[in-house]
Amino acid sequence: MIMAIKRAVEGDRNRTDFTKKVAAKEIESEKLIALSLSSTPFYRTFYMIHHREKHISGPLKRFINLIKQQ
């Protein structure tokens, strides 16, 4: 999935957010460029997904609750 997103950004001049590590090869070959956002406050929204028919373990439930408190 990450490769598909990187290819879409390469082809359509869109943008997305990755760590430099994930896109290192494409940055080195200049297919993608990295923009530093260190001086700009940057907030991201993350979503947790899981299969509706799979059991959520106790440790995972605690982790989800911890994240929701932040």
List pLDDT tens digits, range 9-60.
Answer: 666 556 666 777 888 888 898 887 887 777 777 677 777 777 888 888 999 8
- Residue 20 near residue 34, CB atoms below 8 Å: yes
- Residues 7 and 5: their CA atoms lie apart, in Å, by 5
Reported pTM = 0.40
- Residues 37 and 56: their CA atoms lie apart, in Å, by 36
Assign 25 to helix, strand or coil.
helix
C-alpha dihedral, 66 to 60 to 19 to 37, nearest 10°: -10
